[in-house]
């Protein structure tokens, strides 16, 4: 026996068996016509070894353990404050907040000067408040999702832009009505006083708030764990994403009223583009609205054409905020 030579240089005599035992995580696949023989087949994907001859798929929120003998929960992730997707927008949001507070403080300090009064100080404060809320929403979008955070997201998602565009629309509408009425008579048009302008702006904003209240009643806010978004072919890299239960369509619908105000404001900005230079406030507003429309036209197809994620939602909304 010591002098026997076996194939492939093996030193031990070959085992007189049809098939060797399968490794852990492999199932036996019987050879047709040879009931005592089998091939070893690895349990792949999200399957684990159920018994010697079969593999089973793990539950929706589970993945196989390293040796594929059972299933284990898929790790849950969320947008972290130290992530580059969060650090850069937070930094820019802080700059925006500081700049907004500085402008507001300047307006308060020179509140009774002719320049501030001529600019429509009441609506200017409303506009600054809207811009401030647009920057604040950045922190709400990054915060760990829970019922409270999801509620604030629904409220402030479109509120800041609604306030800003409502103030701009009221400003441009007022300028348009003043010059249109001036072509017909010397009588001043109605509803151009500061109190009237605030009432009009408040009524426009109340529509947004009413829509949010209806949204709360129809679909109360809650959190979900999305396993589809980062469920990769390799189960070791699979992750579940903790986020608010808000769909792409709901986000666009929440911003839809702001889009309507923006378009209407753009129309009035075009109509008032020929006002005298002494009333050049309409021209910067018009330029702002033209660029904002371009940003929105680019935003909507990109938003719907990519998979939803916390990073995408937060960054896309922040880009829209910068357009203000």
pLDDT in tens, 25-43: 888 888 777 777 888 888 8
- Indicate the pLDDT class of residue 72, thresholds 50, 70 and 90: very high
Q: Are residues 64 and 81 in the same domain?
A: no
Judge contact between 96 and 131, C-beta under 8 A.
yes
Domain assignment present for residue 7? The answer is no
Residues 261 and 198 in one domain: yes
Global pTM value: 0.76
Could you tell me the pLDDT band of residue 278, with boundaries at 50, 70 and 90?
Answer: low
Residue 209 lies in a domain: yes
| Domain membership of residue 127 as a residue range | 77-323
Number of domains making up the chain: 2
**Structural domain includes residue 29:** no
CA–CA dist 197, 206 (Å, integer): 14
Do residues 44 and 172 both lie within one domain? Answer: no
Does a structural domain hold residue 126? yes
Residue 113 falls inside a structural domain = yes
- Beta strands (DSSP E) in the chain are 26-31, 34-42, 47-51, 54-57, 62-64, 71-73, 76-77, 223-230, 239-244
Is 30 domain-assigned? Answer: no
Q: What is the spatial distance between Cα 272 and Cα 177, in angstroms, rounded to a whole number?
A: 9
Residue 20 in domain: no
Indicate the pLDDT class of residue 71, thresholds 50, 70 and 90: very high
Residues 258 and 118 in one domain: yes
**Residues 127 and 104 reside in one and the same domain:** yes
Mark whether 69 and 92 lie in a shared domain: no
Question: Is residue 128 domain-shared with residue 68, that is, in the same domain?
Answer: no
Task: Say if residue 178 is in the same domain as residue 292.
Answer: yes
N-terminal to C-terminal alpha carbon distance within the chain:
89
Instruction: Say if 11 falls within a structural domain.
Output: no
Rounded Cα gap, residues 235 and 239, in angstroms: 9
Domain-ending residue, one of 73, 100, 126? 73
């Amino acid at each position: 026996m010591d002098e026997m030579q076996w194939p492939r240089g093996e030193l031990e005599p070959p085992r007189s068996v049809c098939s060797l035992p399968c490794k852990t995580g492999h199932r036996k696949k019987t050879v047709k016509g040879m009931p005592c023989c089998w091939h070893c087949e690895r349990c792949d994907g999200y399957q684990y070894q159920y018994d010697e001859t079969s593999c089973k798929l793990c539950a929706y929120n589970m993945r196989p353990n390293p040796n594929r003998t059972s299933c284990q929960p898929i790790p849950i992730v969320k947008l972290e404050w130290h992530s580059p997707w969060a650090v850069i927008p937070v930094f820019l949001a802080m700059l925006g907040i500081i700049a907004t507070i500085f402008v507001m403080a300047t307006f308060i300090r020179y509140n009774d000067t002719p320049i501030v009064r001529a600019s429509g100080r009441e609506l200017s404060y409303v506009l600054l408040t809207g811009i401030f809320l647009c920057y604040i929403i950045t922190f709400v979008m990054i915060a760990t999702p829970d019922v409270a955070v999801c509620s604030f997201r629904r409220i402030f998602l479109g509120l800041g832009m609604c306030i800003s565009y409502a103030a701009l629309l009221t400003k441009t509408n007022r300028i348009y009505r003043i010059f249109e009425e001036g072509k017909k008579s010397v009588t001043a048009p109605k509803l151009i006083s500061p109190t009237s302008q605030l009432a009009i702006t408040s009524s426009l904003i109340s529509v947004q708030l009413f829509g949010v209240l209806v949204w709360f009643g129809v679909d109360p806010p809650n959190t979900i764990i999305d396993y589809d978004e980062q469920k990769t072919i390799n189960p070791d890299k699979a992750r579940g994403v903790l986020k608010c239960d808000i769909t792409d369509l709901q986000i666009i619908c929440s911003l839809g009223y702001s889009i309507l105000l923006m378009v209407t404001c753009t129309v009035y900005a075009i109509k008032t583009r020929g006002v005298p230079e002494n009333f050049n406030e309409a021209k910067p507003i018009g330029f702002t609205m033209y660029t904002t429309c371009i940003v929105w036209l680019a935003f909507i197809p990109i938003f719907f054409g990519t998979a939803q994620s916390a990073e995408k939602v937060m960054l896309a909304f922040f880009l829209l905020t910068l357009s203000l």
